[in-house]
Amino acid sequence: MLKKLLYFLFVNDTLKKNIVFLKKIPLFTGLSKKSLAKIALLIFRKEYTQYEKIYEENKEANVLYILKAGQVRITEKNSSKVLEDGDFFGEISLIGNCTHKNNASALKKSELYLIYRAKIVDLFESDNKVGLIIMKNLANILAKKL
């Protein structure tokens, strides 16, 4: 019984922290706390070492990456940009079966939250409102980049 209680308290605290973090991500603007909790439950946490490749150009894009802590470099042909805490990338994976048009690697030790396309699509199918809000946010974000 005590183990179950401690597990619940730990998971609940982690879930709360993840909800607070996700609320700051522009892709999730306008989502309720309950919807953010659903997304937080989909997160797979992964650490990358300095200079470790996260993904390569022309490889299947099936993960949305959210940078929890660290720095990531995105390189594409003759340009590159550095992402910081709270930035996300790999959003092309939300659109469908696509390949990456760039490369991503950790500039220093980094903690990333990964959300696999299959899991987020399942969420969109079970909660259309969440899917609509996220896709609307994604469209606005991509439009600003043009």
Question: How confident is the model at residue 55, as a pLDDT?
Answer: 96
How far, in Å, CA of 10 to CA of 84, rounded? 27
- Both structure tokens of 142: 């991509």
Inform me whether the pLDDT recorded for 124 exceeds 60.
yes
Question: How confident is the model at residue 3, as a pLDDT?
Answer: 54
DSSP-based three-state secondary structure for 100? coil
Question: How confident is the model at residue 13, as a pLDDT?
Answer: 80
CA 137 vs CA 46, 107, 108, 115: distances in Å? 25, 28, 29, 17
Question: How confident is the model at residue 5, as a pLDDT?
Answer: 45
The tens digit of pLDDT for each residue in 6-54 reads: 555 455 788 889 999 999 999 999 999 889 989 998 999 999 999 999 9
Residue for token digits 């650490």? 47
The tens digit of pLDDT for each residue in 66-120 reads: 999 999 999 998 899 999 999 999 999 998 889 999 999 999 999 999 999 999 9
